[in-house]
Amino acid sequence: MIISIALVVLSALALAYLIRLAKGQAIAPRLGDNPAEHIRFVDLEAFRNLIDPDEQEYLRRHLHPGAFRRIQRERLRAAAEYIACAAHNAAVLLTIAQAARLSPDPQVAAMAEKLVENAIRLRLYALQAIPRLYVAMILPLPQQSPAHMADRYEQMTRQVVMLGLQYPMRGVSAAL
């Protein structure tokens, strides 16, 4: 009975932590004067190449199996790093967008709300995608490609540019 209660409490705490993490509050960076300094570079074309199933199949056909597995692990590790950077950027943008939601201009507030929603979705997806990539490094099973991660990040970037036109964000859209 005590073990059951402990597991339930532990599960509730883990869920609360994941929700805070997804909202960007657990690791929200202190933005200070220039939020653009906290943005990490994400090369979307390189990321798309890393997760492209056709590229993976090409490498599988043209490399020795041992070399393919080694290179595939490196590719998956790099993809996980890109996803982690995108999730970090989403946390920075969440902080900015939450402040922009309080704008008296309803158009700015609506754009900021959309940005908040997409940033939270991207962070939740990152919480799912990164462990899958690490499992795929260990177990070379057929995997789902996190291709729509790049699309979501690109959409979020467009929203930042649109919001930046109406709400001063001190160089954030240029840093993305």
Residue 169 has pLDDT above 70, yes or no: no
Choose between 14 and 170: higher pLDDT: 14
**Two tokens, residue 8:** 């339930």
Amino acid at 146: P
Least confident of 19-28, 42-51, 102-111, 145-154: 19-28
> Up-side HSE of residue 137: CA atoms within 13 Å toward CB?
16
Residue 13 has pLDDT above 80, yes or no: no
The answer to whether the beta carbons of residues 116 and 133 sit under 8 Å apart is no
Domain spans in the chain, listed from the N-terminal domain onward: 2-175
pLDDT, the chain, mean: 80
Entry pTM: 0.72
Amino acid at 117: E
